[in-house]
Structure 1
């Protein structure tokens, strides 16, 4: 009798949809005259491959709000950048330093990309609000 109860419990657990959360992101430090602002949720790392799910919006003023919906519970980090020249990517020097404003969740005021653990935060239902401040590694050219 115990085995059918375990099978029934497993079936019910599989049939129950996982809850999704909403992550509200406020990006500040946006520079005037720039292009779109990109925000991406990162899972497991901070590489471009790990930061695929996100949104973009035209820069308007020094602050932009994004709402990421239907985010599965888990551990994430946020990466953001302002695409000053409109090419759809974060431009870098030959040494890998960002040429455009960028930022990550977690501690502010850093000059290098943090590791995932320092930028990570848990997402649970119903959701949370995160703030990311854009900075520059180098002065504008």
Structure 2
């Protein structure tokens, strides 16, 4: 019995944490230019448009660029993307607050005056791979 418990404990210790609940989001961004950096963030409801817990930055490919984010817990998330043309790590805006760099949200959500609400951009992420298409505007 003691050997069986020890064997089970060693087997559990060898398993990667969260492997059973790890998901992947494949963000397919269209209307991409060839310059700067394409930045993608995945936000939950509480941190939406603030400090998103998951993000990635890649060199853009003109037309469409795919960004893959792994080890995302299943749940409800919103995905945001923007092309950082001058690579200053922020979405630049004009003097009245309108973005001057191309950006987009999952579900192609568009806010009426400002960014869309979380619910408008929210997608359901399950185990496996979830595709999130985003068109930059």
TM over 0.5: yes
For each residue in 1:42-64, what CA deviation from the matched residue of structure 2 results, as whole angstroms up to 9, or x when unmatched?
A: 11153132x24110111122111
1:123 CA displacement: 0.8
Distance in 2 (alpha carbons) for counterparts of 1:117 and 1:108: 9
- Report the equivalent of 2:94: 93
1:92 CA displacement: 1.2
The reply on whether 1:68 has 2:69 as its aligned counterpart is yes
- Report the equivalent of 2:11: none
- Give yes or no for contact 2:109–2:120 (8 Å, CA) kept in 1: no
Runs of 4+ in 1 over 4 A off after TM superposition: 108-111
- TM-score (norm: length of structure 1): 0.75
SS of alignment partner, residue 65 of structure 1: strand
1:127 CA displacement: 2.6
Distance in 2 (alpha carbons) for counterparts of 1:134 and 1:65: 13
1:105 CA displacement: 0.6
5+ residue gaps, structure 2, are: 1-16
5+ residue gaps, structure 1, are: 1-15, 136-141
For each residue in 1:97-127, what CA deviation from the matched residue of structure 2 results, as whole angstroms up to 9, or x when unmatched?
A: 1110000011356664110001001111013
Distance in 2 (alpha carbons) for counterparts of 1:36 and 1:98: 16
- Report the equivalent of 2:117: 115
The reply on whether 1:31 has 2:26 as its aligned counterpart is no
Distance in 1 (alpha carbons) for counterparts of 2:60 and 2:79: 18
1:96 CA displacement: 1.9
- Give yes or no for contact 2:33–2:61 (8 Å, CA) kept in 1: no
- Report the equivalent of 2:60: 59
Match of 1:46 among 48, 67, 75: 48
- Report the equivalent of 1:11: none
